[in-house]
Amino acid sequence: MKALRLHGAGDLRLDEEPEPLAAAGEVLVQVTAVGLCGSDRHWFVEAGIGDAVLERPLVLGHEFAGVIASGPRAGERVALDPALPCGRCDACLGGLSHLCSSGRFAGHGSTDGALRTRLAWPEELAHPVPDGIPDAEAALLEPLGVALHALRLGHVRHGVRAGVFGCGPIGLLLVQTIAAAGGETVVATDPFEHRRAAARRAGAAEAPDPGELDRGGLGLDVAFEAAGTDEALADAIDAVRPGGRVVLVGIPDGDRTSFAASAPRRKGLTLLLCRRMEHADLPRAIRLAESGGVDLGSLVGERHSLDDFGDAFAALVERRTLKVVIEP
């Protein structure tokens, strides 16, 4: 089979490798689509993310869909949950398995991800995908699950006034899911015009350039920082009303976020950090996509073969489109 491994910053190599073998409780999956994420960009550019650094050649890719190729479920189209929690720590036992510090995650640390033609994965993490969701869109179900998790942290419900600061794929999914929950995206900002245009199409009432943002009087109930920059966080803090909430979804360069303390302190804001998704969020994402509550297809900007990985990662680094999908 073919596998794409990261050997160092900017150093991806596609090679032939032995076919994987499914262990007990696993299924063999033919990978059909992998979405490239901002975290994959961190790994590619920095050879790490946060406090995790590249220790050996790593297969990236944690937003993935495929077809089961072994066992009684052979032929079934599935979306895969990329997180394998330990099930024994306090976080797992307390119902917070997405915060497990000793679990494994596809395309992270020592666990190979999905940028290969086949992989073995726990069967319980393979969720059936309805025929109405194409493969390229099925790869976006994991980021949709992250958006749903962030939505709960923000207490979004009918009538909530929200803002999205950073309109990459997660930010655009937030715009859509805010509307699906009955809220209103009052404003969505991003430095890239193609992302601002996508935010307007997704339902944002306004989508200005951050430099043209009216920072006074927005009075948002909740703001989602989805850019991973201090500038976006500062805008989010300014836009929220006293007593409001700010949810940090973006991953910053250099593993550091900073902000002036006076405004959030005087406003008494609640700041929350969103990590990945809970395990129940992937089935929720599948149901929402199947019902037509979100339009995943509108986010697919470029589709590439595994052989064309160079151009795919160039698109990711340059942020020249919305979601980049590789189809092994």
Please report the pLDDT score of residue 94 as a whole number.
86
pLDDT tens-digit series, residues 287-325 = 999 999 999 999 999 999 999 999 999 999 999 999 999
113 and 234 belong to one structural domain: no
| Residue 289 domain-assigned (yes or no) | no
Please report the pLDDT score of residue 245 as a whole number.
97
The whole-number average pLDDT for the span 98-111 is 89
For 98-107, 230-239, 316-325, which range has the lowest pLDDT when averaged over its residues? 98-107
136 and 6 belong to one structural domain: yes
Name the E strands within the chain: 2-8, 11-16, 26-36, 48-49, 52-53, 58-59, 63-68, 77-80, 83-84, 104-105, 118-122, 126-128, 161-165, 184-189, 220-225, 240-248, 270-273, 300-305, 323-327
Banded model confidence at residue 101, pLDDT cuts 50, 70, 90: confident
Residue that is written with structure tokens 């805008």 in the block: 235
| Residue 85 domain-assigned (yes or no) | yes
User: In this model, does residue 216 exceed pLDDT 80?
Assistant: no
Banded model confidence at residue 217, pLDDT cuts 50, 70, 90: confident
- Burial code (b: 16+ CB inside 10 Å, e: under 16) for 116-155 equals bbbbbbebebbbebeeebbbbbbbbbbbbbbbbbbbbbbe
In one-letter notation, the amino acid at residue 31 is V
Residue 254 structure tokens: 């250099």
| Residue 291 domain-assigned (yes or no) | no
Crossing angle for the helix pair 141-153 and 281-291, to the nearest 10 degrees: 110
Residue 33 structure tokens: 């689509």
Please report the pLDDT score of residue 254 as a whole number.
82
201 and 221 belong to one structural domain: yes
Give Cα 106 distance to the centre of its chain.
Answer: 13
Q: Determine the Cα–Cα distance for residues 287 and 12; give it in Å rounded to an integer.
A: 35
Banded model confidence at residue 50, pLDDT cuts 50, 70, 90: confident
User: In this model, does residue 280 exceed pLDDT 80?
Assistant: yes
Please report the pLDDT score of residue 91 as a whole number.
87
User: In this model, does residue 156 exceed pLDDT 80?
Assistant: yes
- CA distances to 101, 106, 149 from 86, rounded to whole Å, are 8, 14, 20
21 and 40 belong to one structural domain: yes
Greatest alpha-carbon pair distance for the chain in Å reads 59
Please report the pLDDT score of residue 255 as a whole number.
83
The whole-number average pLDDT for the span 198-224 is 91
Q: Determine the Cα–Cα distance for residues 278 and 211; give it in Å rounded to an integer.
A: 35
Q: Determine the Cα–Cα distance for residues 307 and 254; give it in Å rounded to an integer.
A: 30
- CA distances to 10, 197, 229, 325 from 281, rounded to whole Å, are 32, 28, 26, 21
Other Cβ atoms closer than 10 A to 287: 11
Q: Determine the Cα–Cα distance for residues 327 and 127; give it in Å rounded to an integer.
A: 19
| Residue 286 domain-assigned (yes or no) | no
pLDDT tens-digit series, residues 164-206 = 999 999 999 999 999 999 999 999 999 999 999 999 999 999 9
8 and 131 belong to one structural domain: yes
> The CATH number of the domain where 305 resides is what?
3.90.180.10
Indicate the number of domains in the chain: 2
> The CATH number of the domain where 209 resides is what?
3.40.50.720
Q: Which domain holds residue 22?
A: 2-140+296-327
User: In this model, does residue 52 exceed pLDDT 80?
Assistant: yes
229 and 300 belong to one structural domain: no
202 and 250 belong to one structural domain: yes
Identify which has the larger pLDDT, 123 or 96: 123
- CA distances to 16, 42, 195, 309 from 315, rounded to whole Å, are 24, 14, 14, 10
| Residue 240 domain-assigned (yes or no) | yes
Q: Determine the Cα–Cα distance for residues 138 and 127; give it in Å rounded to an integer.
A: 11
Please report the pLDDT score of residue 213 as a whole number.
87
Q: Determine the Cα–Cα distance for residues 90 and 92; give it in Å rounded to an integer.
A: 6
241 and 259 belong to one structural domain: yes
State the DSSP string of 104-119. EETTBTTB--S-BSEE
Element (H, E) at 227: none
| Residue 188 domain-assigned (yes or no) | yes
| Residue 281 domain-assigned (yes or no) | no
Please report the pLDDT score of residue 103 as a whole number.
86
Q: Determine the Cα–Cα distance for residues 126 and 162; give it in Å rounded to an integer.
A: 33
| Residue 126 domain-assigned (yes or no) | yes
Identify which has the larger pLDDT, 97 or 207: 207
17 and 111 belong to one structural domain: yes
Share of the chain above pLDDT 70, in %: 99
User: In this model, does residue 215 exceed pLDDT 80?
Assistant: no
97 and 151 belong to one structural domain: no
Banded model confidence at residue 139, pLDDT cuts 50, 70, 90: very high
The whole-number average pLDDT for the span 236-243 is 96
In one-letter notation, the amino acid at residue 87 is G
User: In this model, does residue 79 exceed pLDDT 80?
Assistant: yes
Which residues contact residue 280 at a Cβ distance below 8 angstroms, ignoring those fewer than 6 apart? Answer: none
Please report the pLDDT score of residue 279 as a whole number.
87
- CA distances to 121, 229, 284, 286 from 291, rounded to whole Å, are 27, 34, 11, 9
135 and 7 belong to one structural domain: yes
Average per-residue pLDDT in the chain? 94
152 and 132 belong to one structural domain: no
